Amino acid sequence: MKQLIFDCDGVLVDTEIVAAEVMVELLQTYGLDLNTKGYIERFTGKTFSGILDTLEIEIDGDVELLARQTEQKIYADLRSIAGMPELLQKQTLPVAIVSNSATWQVAKAIKFLKVEDVIKENFFSSEMVGRPKPFPDIYLKAAEINNIDPQDCLVIEDSVSGATAALDAGMNVIGFCGASHIQPGHDQKLLELGVLKTVSNATELNLELDRLT
């Protein structure tokens, strides 16, 4: 492997459970019969607009403004995944972040984790491409910008959507199941997609990275 790529939400910062709670509350105002568990199973890793399109919800007013207000609420209280900032700091291979989140969210997470010296400007948002994950576009963009063959990239992803995107880009994937939103059986779903391995915390991930890189 020549390049490490980390997803952001659910891998570096523990925001997916907050996102689920915030989005369920919002969607219920539109008459959706949805709970947090159901949201996590169906929509983790997907964009705000992608979720609205799937559910065929029409928003009265400015959708972009509502999306930003929702994202700000989710990112108001960031929490790191235990051990991940330290893991990033010790890597010898180049590290990038590829996320479905907005650029400002990824930048805020990097600053919060205090890993600016590791990531520098090497992070990518779905805003940079026409199609977000589960399409492979943003991963292919990261490989192109870094002038690296996709098969030489090792990706750490938590969601089915993200893992699908990375695998379809021709990359190697480790499934990360250490965030608070992960449901029983999620590791098996990732393995069935074709990830190399699943890990439950930063310690297990560190062992796999040592082995593979």
Instruction: Pick the more confident residue, 21 or 192.
Output: 192
Which domain range does residue 24 map to? Answer: 16-74
> What b/e string do you get for 38-69 counting C-beta neighbours within 10 Å, with b at 16 or more?
ebbeebbbbbbebbbeeeeeeeeeeeeeebee
What is the number of domains present in the chain?
Answer: 2
82 neighbors 179 (Cβ within 8 angstroms): no
Q: Are residues 147 and 173 in the same domain?
A: yes
Q: What is the rounded distance in angstroms from the CA atom of residue 71 to the CA atom of residue 142? A: 23
Strand partners, 123: 97
Q: What is the pTM of this model?
A: 0.86
Q: Tell me the average pLDDT across 21-38.
A: 91
Query: How buried is 197 (Cβ within 10 angstroms: 0-12 exposed, 13-18 middle, 19+ buried)?
Result: middle
143 lies in the same domain as 65: no
- Per residue in 126-148, pLDDT (tens digit) is 999 999 999 999 999 999 999 99
Nearest to residue 146, comparing CAs of 92, 86, 93, 85?
Answer: 93
Higher-confidence residue of 71 and 166: namely: 166
Look at residues 74, 96, 113 and tell me which one is the last residue of a structural domain: 74
Q: Roughly how many angstroms between the first and final C-alpha of the chain, as a whole number?
A: 6
Over residues 64-108, the pLDDT tens digits come to 888 889 889 888 888 999 999 999 999 999 999 999 999 999 999
Sign of the dihedral defined by the CA atoms of residues 135, 75, 93, 85, in that order: negative
Residues 104 and 197 in one domain: yes
